[in-house]
Amino acid sequence: MNRITPENWTFCHFKTEELKAFISMTGAPGLAEEVKVNYVVTLTDLEHQELFQSEFGDLDKAVTCLNDRYGHWEFFDAENPPETDGCSTCDNSH
């Protein structure tokens, strides 16, 4: 079973035919003009509307949340996408 890890979270996500779950980063004001980085587990629909978000100060906790909630969905790796027969709307004659 494929899992989201601290090494692949920036280019991998879980999906169904109607939903997508992933981790993103956000910044928040910190102490002494520093920016605190947070990790956000987000669930969106096909129109990219957010349905759920949960924010974590620690990447490992965000990864655990994503895997626990959505790990049974299809895993998608954007660096190694599944091979297709090509685009059905593309004209390959040129």
Note the pLDDT tens digit of each residue in 26-77. Answer: 998 877 778 889 999 999 998 999 999 999 999 999 999 999 999 999 999 9
**Is residue 85 very low, low, confident or very high in pLDDT (cuts 50, 70, 90)?**
low
The length of the chain, given as a count of residues = 94
State CA 75 to chain mean position distance: 10
- pLDDT of 11: 96
Which amino acid would we find at residue 46?
A: L
pLDDT the model gives residue 83: 76
C-alpha–C-alpha distance, residues 42 and 34, integer Å: 24
Determine the distance from the C-alpha atom of residue 35 to the mean position of all C-alpha atoms in its chain, rounded to a whole number: 22
- Render pLDDT for 2-17 as a digit per residue (tens, 0 to 9): 999 999 999 999 999 9
